[in-house]
Amino acid sequence: MFRYLLKLLAAISFYIWFSSIFCIALCQQFYTVIDLGTLGGLTSGATGINTSGQVVGSSLLSNNATTHAFLWENNQMTELLTLGGNNSYGYGVNNSGQVVGSSLLSNNTTTHAFLWENSVMTDLLTLGGNSSFGFGINNSRQVVGMSEDTGVNVLAFLWENGVMTSLGTLGGGNSGARGINDSGQVVGDSELSDNSSHAFLWDNGTMTDLGTLGGLISLARAINSSGQVVGESLLPGGGYHAFLWESGVMIDLGTLGGVSSSASGINSSGQVVGVSDVLGGNIHAFLWEDGVMIDLNSIIDSSSGWILLGATSINNNGEIVGTGLYNGQAHAFLLPIGLTITSPTAGEL
């Protein structure tokens, strides 16, 4: 009886293994790419998505010379206008639909960070210099970015309740903030005293150097609710690789077969999205989870007309946005998939 049970278990295990391999080969599921359209021009790009599925980005207008920030929801793209100049760019959106970005002023030479809410775009001003740029916003309406100061430097800032505060540097002259989580932790990059530039994590007044993957340069782009940070770092031999930093350790996420990669977004589950070189030199959007990086183009129908070039943000539902080529034109896309990587890797087959 015991030997019979062992044989039965072995047969069941083989059947499950064979079925999974057979399905991977023949039962590939393809996901539908949603074209977010444009504001009348030829091209658009998406840069952020919140939990409700509201998407922010930028698009050319019908004259194909002017770019405006947009907010997309319920299949409708809304133009966010500007602070008086020709162009504006949307970068981040929180769960209240408040948008942060940058806009030219009426002189069309000076750029200021803005906060858009309830159809009103507010100028966040600067740290005393001419220009500022807004990149990230959390659910407490805290905004981060970078601004020229009264001297010659550009510094990371935190804006809250009408006040813009410099976050300082890691010892060098310049810094910039890219992302913020709901705990008020801020990530970005800063010059060091030796003129190299490293990713940083700013928390409650303290800026921490996150190091690199061996090269002189790293940049942090996003942080999730658990304090996991993503970005890219220069390698000792050249080329940049996407990284995931957590608990003091920077992990190399690799590439899709090419030289370089960069991570732009991470959600509360630790799913990472970004862009990577592929063999041959082209760039493709990727999703990384639990040590596995997949090309997002491998899960869409190759006859759809899409080539997904880069993924910029992923929300806590697993919905992904970015920019791709649709029939040859760059358009903002949404993958409303809640994708989880479950296929075994080559080493597990």
pLDDT confidence of residue 52: 96
Mean pLDDT by 10 residues, the chain (349 residues): 37 39 46 96 98 98 98 97 98 98 98 98 98 98 98 97 98 98 98 97 98 98 98 96 98 98 98 97 96 96 95 97 97 83 38
Tokens of 345: 């890797």
pLDDT confidence of residue 3: 42
pLDDT confidence of residue 336: 86
pLDDT confidence of residue 28: 53
292-295, strands of its sheet edge to edge: 257-266, 272-278, 283-289, 292-295
pLDDT confidence of residue 216: 97
Note the pLDDT tens digit of each residue in 289-306. Answer: 999 999 999 999 999 999
340 CB-contact burial (10 Å; exposed 0-12 / middle 13-18 / buried 19+): exposed
At the top level of CATH, the class of 31-348 is: mainly beta
Q: Which residues contact 61 (CB under 8 A, 6 or more apart)?
A: 39, 40, 41, 67, 68, 79
Query: pTM here?
Result: 0.89
Domain ranges of the chain: 1-30, 31-348
